[in-house]
Structure 1
Amino acid sequence: MANNITLSQTDDIVIVTVSNNEQANTIDISFCEELLSALDDVEISQQYRAVILRAKGSVFSAGGDLAQILECLDKGDGSLEALISAFHAVILAIRRLPLPVIASVQGAAAGAGFSLAMACDAVVAANTAKFVVGYPRLGTSSDGGLSYQLTRRLGPARALDIFLRKEALSAAEAQSLGLVQRLTDPSSLEDTAFELAKTMSNHPSVTVAEIKSLIGALSDDGLEQHLEREKQAFLRCASMAGFRTSVAQFVQQSKARKH
Structure 2
Amino acid sequence: MANNITLSQTDDIVVVTMCNNEQANTIDVSFCEGLLKVLNEVKSSQQHKAVVLRANGSVFSAGGDLAEILERLDRGAGSLEALIDAFHRMILAIRGLPLPVIASIQGPAAGAGFSLAMACDAVVAVNTAKFVVGYPKLGTSSDGGLSFQLTRRLGPARALDIFLRKEPLSAEEASLLGLVQRVTDAASLDDTSFELAKMMSSYPTAAVTEIKSLIGTLCDDGFAQHLEREKQAFLRCASTTEFRASVARFVHQSAVRKR
Scaled by the length of structure 2, the TM-score of the pair is 0.97
Provide Cα deviations, 1:186-241, integer angstroms capped at 9, x if missing partner: 11100000000011111111111111122127982111000000000000000001
Residue 95 of structure 2 contacts residue 219 of structure 2 at CA under 8 Å; is this kept in 1? no
Is 1:199 matched with 2:195?
no
> How many residues in Structure 1 have an aligned counterpart in Structure 2?
258
Scaled by the length of structure 1, the TM-score of the pair is 0.97
TM-aligned CA distance change 1:167 to 1:141, over 3 Å: farther
Which stretch of structure 1 is more off in the superposition, 217-226 or 111-120?
217-226
Distance 1:257 1:149 in 2: 33
Is 1:69 matched with 2:69?
yes
Gaps of 5+ in 1: none
Provide Cα deviations, 1:33-57, integer angstroms capped at 9, x if missing partner: 0000000010111210100000100
Aligned to 2:113: 113
AA aligned opposite 1:45: S
Residue 121 of structure 2 contacts residue 217 of structure 2 at CA under 8 Å; is this kept in 1? no
Is 1:141 matched with 2:117?
no
Residue 96 of structure 1 contacts residue 213 of structure 1 at CA under 8 Å; is this kept in 2? no
Distance 2:217 2:182 in 1: 25
What is the SS of the residue equivalent to 2:90? helix
AA aligned opposite 1:69: I
Distance 2:180 2:30 in 1: 28
AA aligned opposite 1:207: A
Aligned to 1:165: 165
List aligned pairs for 1:1-259, cutoff 5 A.
3-76=3-76, 78-166=78-166, 168-216=168-216, 220-259=220-259
Residue 96 of structure 2 contacts residue 218 of structure 2 at CA under 8 Å; is this kept in 1? no
Provide Cα deviations, 1:62-83, integer angstroms capped at 9, x if missing partner: 0000000000001115110010
TM-aligned CA distance change 1:21 to 1:185, over 3 Å: same
AA aligned opposite 1:229: R
AA aligned opposite 1:74: D
What is the SS of the residue equivalent to 1:86? helix
Distance 1:136 1:89 in 2: 23
AA aligned opposite 1:141: S
Provide Cα deviations, 1:61-112, integer angstroms capped at 9, x if missing partner: 0000000000000111511001001101111111110000000001100000
Task: Report runs of 4+ in structure 1 exceeding 2 Å deviation.
Answer: none
What is the SS of the residue equivalent to 1:9? strand
What is the SS of the residue equivalent to 1:78? helix
Distance 1:34 1:219 in 2: 21
Give the Å deviation of 1:166.
4.2
Distance 2:204 2:97 in 1: 16
Residue 16 of structure 1 contacts residue 51 of structure 1 at CA under 8 Å; is this kept in 2? yes
What is the SS of the residue equivalent to 1:220? coil
Distance 1:135 1:84 in 2: 14
Which stretch of structure 1 is more off in the superposition, 112-121 or 219-228?
219-228
TM-aligned CA distance change 1:53 to 1:218, over 3 Å: closer
AA aligned opposite 1:204: P
Give the Å deviation of 1:3.
3.3
Give the Å deviation of 1:165.
2.2
